[in-house]
Chain A
Amino acid sequence: MNLADTRIVGIGESRLGKVPDRSALQLQSDAAHAALDDAGLTLADIDGLITTPIRVEPWNMPCGVVSSFLGVQPAYLSTLDLAGASGCAMIHHAAMAVASGQCNTVLCVAGQDLLTNKTRASAVQTMAESGAAHPQFEAPYGPLVASNYALIAQRHMYEYGTTAEQMAEVAVTIRKHALLNPNAHMTKPITVQDVMASPMITSPLKRFDCALVSDGAAAVIVTSADRARDLKQKPVRVLGQGYGLSHSYVGEALKLPFSGAVESGKKAFEMAGVKHADIDVAELYDCFTITVIIELEDLGFCKKGEGGAFVQGGRISLGGELPVTTHGGLLSCAHPGLPGGLFHVLEGVRQVRGQAGARQVKDAKLALVHGNGGTIAIHCTLILSV
């Protein structure tokens, strides 16, 4: 068996946004059971589990804690941390575990009560001090996680003439998509003027250029193509996959604003044997508005430096040439930390199944899903189809 013989067969998510009546483990359990129901499976069918670390509670062995809580007896288990690229990487690791014969059916699940347990302010401090900045050479100077991305945005503006209004267009479009998602954290529309008038956090990034802090969890079930045949949903294939790594810290990176998405995208397209024009929808990691612009460039949807112009004129909206992050993303749907990138996978699966409701991209056959971790450093790309 190899990767081509594996399928995504179930997806599920908890309530998202502010969920004050759920702990991290309850959120993960909600998402896991939603994915099992979606697939037509029970916990007894699960013999592999992958999760991520969380920040709200100290867990000694996250995969053990989650497996034990859910009541899974795993033949395979792993705690994965590729920062924001974890969501996409979990799917790839699950598929490898199934393809190797180590186990039959893997539950990928992650989530936490980041907003309720932490408050927005303490979540911001926790994330600033949890390693996005180098603990010796960067953290003492006081960068937010957003400051690391602001350094990239500033350089991008300098080299290519990208504007704050172009970045704002990303936030506005993704908010518009979130309004079509009944489970999204944000429920009110915003305009480019609203983004421009929102408080400056770390120039050039303003409040609405930055991701949310949310409660929430997501789950995905991966099994063999054989097993997938008699389950409830249209099985979804991972046609292409790639990783990329350009640096560890923004202060030492010599090739900004280029990212590891150049390599991850190239590998995923080669493996899938498809072209950019074939992609119907792109679920791009959107921790900050600049991230989406750089991903569009480095994944090859436009030339380097043209990402700012690419996001204008409705091109990345539903109904546009390349709808981007149609569930509302980290900017407007939910960002519970490390698990955030899994929601992009869920939406890619919904789109190629034709189950995205009011957000459905007509006749979507191919979805590209992309996760970005560190400061545009570590990347994982998936290309999905039914």
Chain B
Amino acid sequence: MNFPRPLPSPNPLTAPYWQAAHQGELKLPRCAACAKFHSYPRSTCPHCGSRDLAWQQLSGKGEVYSFTVVHRAPSKGFEALVPYVVAVVALAEGPHLMTRLTGVAPDAVRIGMAVRVAFEEQGPHDEETTLPVFTAEVSA
């Protein structure tokens, strides 16, 4: 039996992020005034206050800023994944994102480890939802 997991419900602020993910691209708002990216998406740049923002693709590269191996799932939908690695990734362009690491043994994860984005379809009934996840940049 499949139990549901929480999935994103895109809204006018966040839809470009999820549309990009569905096309295999990682995009975030970038400020035209100070050139910095930010996450999570806002209407004003948290670095300089400008409202002149545009969605732009990132390299998809970054490093593990912190991580935790989850041994006890928050709900039934995650039980099949246990143990899984929830991480915060510091993207090469600066912003941080929460994500899950895939294709890496939980014991092998280290802070500072180089990672790159991958995209995970969320099951046959959720064709429209693609989650950015991260995987080791160089397999050991």
* Interface residues in chain A, defined as those with a beta carbon under 8 Å from any beta carbon in chain B: 124-125, 128-129, 133-144, 147, 150-152, 154-155, 158, 199-205, 249-254, 256
Of A128, A138, A199, A201, which is within 8 A of B98 by CB?
A: A138
A137 touches B98 (CB 8 A): yes
- Is B95 located at the chain interface by the 8 A CB criterion? yes
Q: List the A side residues contacting B40 at CB < 8 Å.
A: 134, 136-137, 249, 251-252
Q: Mark B1-43, 1 if CB is under 8 A from A, else 0.
A: 0000111111000100010000000000000000000011000
**A144, B69: Cα distance in complex, Å:** 11
Of B7, B68, B96, B131, which is within 8 A of A251 by CB?
A: B96
**A133, B8: Cα distance in complex, Å:** 12
A202 touches B72 (CB 8 A): yes
A143 touches B71 (CB 8 A): no
**A184, B43: Cα distance in complex, Å:** 46
Q: List the B side residues contacting A199 at CB < 8 Å.
A: 71-72
- Is B78 located at the chain interface by the 8 A CB criterion? yes
A155 touches B65 (CB 8 A): yes
B52 to chain A, nearest CB (A): 20
Of A140, A142, A250, A256, which is within 8 A of B73 by CB?
A: A142
**A345, B75: Cα distance in complex, Å:** 33
Interface centre among B74, B84, B96, B97 (most CB of A within 10 A): B74
Knowing A154-B68, A203-B68, the reply to whether A140 touches B74 (Cβ < 8 A) is no
Q: List the B side residues contacting A143 at CB < 8 Å.
A: 68, 70, 74, 86, 98
Q: List the B side residues contacting A139 at CB < 8 Å.
A: 6
Q: A129-B6, A200-B71 are known; give 16 further A-B pairs, CB within 8 A.
A: A125-B74, A125-B75, A137-B14, A137-B40, A140-B5, A142-B78, A151-B67, A158-B66, A158-B111, A202-B71, A203-B68, A249-B40, A249-B98, A251-B96, A252-B39, A254-B95
Name 28 interchain pairs, CB-CB below 8 A, sorted by A. A124-B74, A125-B74, A128-B74, A133-B98, A134-B40, A135-B6, A135-B8, A136-B10, A136-B40, A137-B40, A140-B5, A140-B8, A142-B77, A143-B74, A144-B72, A144-B74, A147-B68, A151-B67, A151-B88, A154-B66, A155-B65, A155-B111, A199-B72, A205-B68, A250-B98, A251-B97, A252-B95, A252-B96
- Is B81 located at the chain interface by the 8 A CB criterion? yes
B7 to chain A: closest residue by CB? A140
Give the size range of B's interface with the partner.
Answer: 35 or more
B70 touches A253 (CB 8 A): no
B70 touches A147 (CB 8 A): yes
Interface centre among A133, A154, A199, A205 (most CB of B within 10 A): A154
B75 touches A129 (CB 8 A): yes
Q: List the A side residues contacting B72 at CB < 8 Å.
A: 144, 199, 201-202
B97 touches A137 (CB 8 A): yes
Interface of B is mostly: mixed
- From 86 to 114 in chain B, residues with beta carbon under 8 angstroms from any chain A beta carbon are 86-88, 95-100, 111
B3 to chain A, nearest CB (A): 11
Interface centre among A140, A158, A250 (most CB of B within 10 A): A140
A99 to chain B, nearest CB (A): 34
Q: List the B side residues contacting A200 at CB < 8 Å.
A: 69, 71
B68 to chain A: closest residue by CB? A150
Interface of A is mostly: loop
What total count of A-B pairs have CB within 8 Å?
116
A131 to chain B, nearest CB (A): 11
Q: List the A side residues contacting B88 at CB < 8 Å.
A: 151, 250-251
Q: List the A side residues contacting B97 at CB < 8 Å.
A: 137, 251-252
Q: List the A side residues contacting B68 at CB < 8 Å.
A: 143, 147, 150-151, 154, 202-205
B98 touches A134 (CB 8 A): yes
Q: List the A side residues contacting B87 at CB < 8 Å.
A: 151
Which 4 pairs show the lowest CB-CB distances between chains A and B?
A: A251-B98, A128-B74, A150-B68, A136-B8
Q: List the B side residues contacting A150 at CB < 8 Å.
A: 68
Knowing A129-B74, A136-B9, the reply to whether A141 touches B86 (Cβ < 8 A) is yes
Q: List the B side residues contacting A138 at CB < 8 Å.
A: 98
A79 to chain B, nearest CB (A): 25
B73 to chain A: closest residue by CB? A142
**A143, B74: Cα distance in complex, Å:** 7
Interface centre among A141, A144, A252 (most CB of B within 10 A): A141
B89 to chain A: closest residue by CB? A251
**A159, B96: Cα distance in complex, Å:** 17
A247 to chain B, nearest CB (A): 10
Knowing A151-B68, A201-B71, the reply to whether A254 touches B96 (Cβ < 8 A) is yes
A155 touches B98 (CB 8 A): no
Q: List the B side residues contacting A142 at CB < 8 Å.
A: 5, 70, 73-74, 77-78, 81, 84, 86, 100
B75 touches A128 (CB 8 A): yes
